[in-house]
Amino acid sequence: MKSIRFKIFAFMAVLLVLLLVMLNTLPMSSSRDLVFEEKHSSLSGRAAILASSLSGLERITEESAGEVLGLLDVDGYDRIVITDEAGKPVYDSAPAAGTEAMGDVLSAVTGKTVFRSSFKDGAFTSSFAMPVATSAGLMGAVYLYEHDSERAEIILDIQSRILTVSVVIGFAAIVLSVLFSEVLMHRLKELVSSMRIVAGGDYKYRLSVHGQDELSELGEEFNALTARLEDTETQRRRFVSDASHELKTPLASIRLLADSLLQNDGVPMDTVKEFVSDIGHEAERLQRTTEKLLDLSRRDDGVLVAPEPVDVKQVTIDALALLKPLADEKKVRIRCSLEDGSVIMATTDDMFHIVFNLMENAVKYNVEGGSVNIDLASDDETVNLSVADTGIGIPEEDRLNIFSRFYRVDKARSREAGGSGLGLSIVHDAVIAHKGSITVGQNKPQGSVFTVSFPRPTSEETGI
């Protein structure tokens, strides 16, 4: 695996090398070209003046050429050659300089101009050869040669300065990129090690986030994710411990009842029956709790049954029939006002759970001689069901929690009534699953009111 640090480094190095190579070559080559151009124009200008002066002569001889040179100011050249029309030098300021120039001179005699310029061994050497022409024809050639080390020195000096600057820039860039990649790597490593810590199960761990760049954003997202994980984990633990507690209590009662039956000989038949019936009740409660737990876990898994049109009035009447014995036993009156045509999109099972649990609570947590009012009505947009009772009511501080799993306001009373504290959380989950909402309030002068609202489906949805 190639690390990010290596990639950053390689990228910076390539960029730097390209930049420095360009910095060291481009200005040098263009200033050299400038000098070549300048040499061309100065040499060609001088040679042209010399050639036109010589073209005024009758013939180019050693004396006449010497005279012309004496009149013109052509100092500063390292070699001046003047030839006659045959290319034979009549004047040469540095004959010992070699015969290299002669090739160019011979070309000039045939009418060509030859310019050469080069930069080597720390100097510019330039030469220019041109014919001396008159209207009558070619009379000879002139050749100028110059060796310039002054300008070359300036250019070499600039070159060495640029090189020094390049080395400094290169060094600074390396130091900076090392620092930058160290900081970046440190932050990335911190993030990775935090992930490992959380993956190891420490959901309380939070990364300390500084700054406002993308990495900080990543850190914040990571913290938010960890917080959600912690939340889910806390809920899961609480649920497991509550559920085991709920299952443990009736099981302990069953064991106790069974043990006392086994250990005592000659227990009267009536007592045996009573104990066995108690065992039956506890077993029934266990069964109800496990059924509710299963229902909740199915909902958590998100198993969705396709919604169908459900007539809430019919469901309410069915629930009522089941609750009648309990209401009679508690001497609670149930009054209903149920509007026809209150159809919503849900499943009959879910709707039954909702209505039954609300009505059961309204009867269970009522007072003797109390009443329950069920009102079902709909407007253009919603179908509303309200279940109001004149019972013991729910203190305001508990209202937020009653939809949580296993939450009971008065534990002793609820357990006595056979409650597990799961009913309202099933109601809540079922209402939300069908896009409805549920609220709880206080009934005047006493008791509670639960109101459930569902969106009224369009006739397209119900197909009616």
Ligand X SMILES: Nc1ncnc2c1ncn2[C@@H]1O[C@H](COP(=O)(O)OP(=O)(O)OP(=O)(O)O)[C@@H](O)[C@H]1O
Minimal distance, residue 286 CB to Mg ion, in Å: 16
Minimal distance, residue 350 CB to ligand X, in Å: 15
By the rule CB under 6 A, 424 interacts with ligand X: yes
Structure tokens given for 394: 């729910």
Of these partners, ligand X, Mg ion, none, which one is at the site of residue 89 (CB under 5 to 8 Å by kind)? none
CA-CA-CA-CA dihedral for 343, 349, 354, 360, to nearest 10: 120
Closest CA to 408 of 249, 219, 190: 249
Stretch of residues binding ligand X (CB under 6 A), selected from 86-94, 322-330, 336-344, 359-367: 359-367
By the rule CB under 6 A, 332 interacts with ligand X: no
- Compute the distance between CA of residue 369 and CA of residue 329 in angstroms, rounded to an integer: 10
**Phi then psi dihedrals of residue 443, to 5 deg:** -90, 140
By the rule CB under 6 A, 414 interacts with ligand X: yes
- Compute the distance between CA of residue 385 and CA of residue 438 in angstroms, rounded to an integer: 10
How many residues touch ligand X under the rule CB under 6 A: the total is 23
Nearer to ligand X, 172 or 400 (CB): 400
Nearer to ligand X, 292 or 434 (CB): 292
Nearer to ligand X, 209 or 430 (CB): 430
Minimal distance, residue 211 CB to ligand X, in Å: 47
Of these partners, Mg ion, ligand X, none, which one is at the site of residue 421 (CB under 5 to 8 Å by kind)? ligand X
Q: Are 270 and 396 in contact (CB under 8 A)?
A: no
Of these partners, ligand X, Mg ion, none, which one is at the site of residue 108 (CB under 5 to 8 Å by kind)? none
By the rule CB under 5 A, 83 interacts with Mg ion: no
3-state DSSP helix/strand/coil % of the chain, to nearest 5: 60, 20, 25
Nearer to Mg ion, 370 or 423 (CB): 423
Label residue 393 left, alpha or beta by phi (over 0 means left) and psi (-120 to 50 means alpha): left
Minimal distance, residue 351 CB to Mg ion, in Å: 16
Question: Which residues, 6+ apart, have CB-to-CB distance to 72 below 8 Å?
Answer: 49, 50, 53
Q: List the one residue from 159, 409, 433, 461 that touches ligand X (CB under 6 A).
A: 409
Minimal distance, residue 270 CB to ligand X, in Å: 30
By the rule CB under 6 A, 433 interacts with ligand X: no
Burial class (CB in 10 A: 0-12, 13-18, 19+), 24: middle
Q: List the one residue from 391, 429, 452, 453 that touches ligand X (CB under 6 A).
A: 391
Of these partners, Mg ion, ligand X, none, which one is at the site of residue 140 (CB under 5 to 8 Å by kind)? none
DSSP 60-94: --HHHHHHHHHHS--TT-SEEEEEETTS-EEEES-
Minimal distance, residue 449 CB to ligand X, in Å: 9
Of these partners, Mg ion, ligand X, none, which one is at the site of residue 422 (CB under 5 to 8 Å by kind)? ligand X
Q: Are 358 and 414 in contact (CB under 8 A)?
A: no
Minimal distance, residue 414 CB to Mg ion, in Å: 8
By the rule CB under 6 A, 423 interacts with ligand X: yes
Q: List the one residue from 46, 353, 408, 434 that touches ligand X (CB under 6 A).
A: 408
- Compute the distance between CA of residue 208 and CA of residue 227 in angstroms, rounded to an integer: 14
Minimal distance, residue 301 CB to ligand X, in Å: 20
By the rule CB under 6 A, 250 interacts with ligand X: no
By the rule CB under 5 A, 423 interacts with Mg ion: yes
Angle between helices 62-71 and 4-54 (to 10 degrees): 120
Q: List the one residue from 140, 219, 250, 419 that touches ligand X (CB under 6 A).
A: 419
Stretch of residues binding ligand X (CB under 6 A), selected from 11-19, 59-67, 345-353, 403-411: 403-411
Question: Which residues, 6+ apart, have CB-to-CB distance to 50 below 8 Å?
Answer: 68, 69, 72, 74, 80, 82, 142, 144
x/- mask, ligand X, residues 270-299, rule CB under 6 A, reads: ----------------------x-------
Element (H, E) at 139: strand 137-148
- Compute the distance between CA of residue 410 and CA of residue 394 in angstroms, rounded to an integer: 10
Of these partners, ligand X, Mg ion, none, which one is at the site of residue 207 (CB under 5 to 8 Å by kind)? none
CA-CA-CA-CA dihedral for 206, 211, 213, 215, to nearest 10: -30
Q: Chain-centre distance of CA 13, in angstroms?
A: 28
Minimal distance, residue 395 CB to ligand X, in Å: 9
Burial class (CB in 10 A: 0-12, 13-18, 19+), 91: buried
Residues 346-405 that bind Mg ion (CB under 5 A): 361
Find where tokens 């004149």 sit. 390
Stretch of residues binding ligand X (CB under 6 A), selected from 231-239, 264-272, 318-326, 357-365: 357-365
- Compute the distance between CA of residue 54 and CA of residue 56 in angstroms, rounded to an integer: 5
Q: List the one residue from 130, 448, 453, 456 that touches ligand X (CB under 6 A).
A: 448
Minimal distance, residue 389 CB to ligand X, in Å: 5
What is the contact surface with Mg ion in residues (CB under 5 A)? Answer: 361, 423
What is the contact surface with ligand X in residues (CB under 6 A)? Answer: 292, 357, 361-362, 365, 389, 391-394, 402, 407-410, 414, 419-424, 448
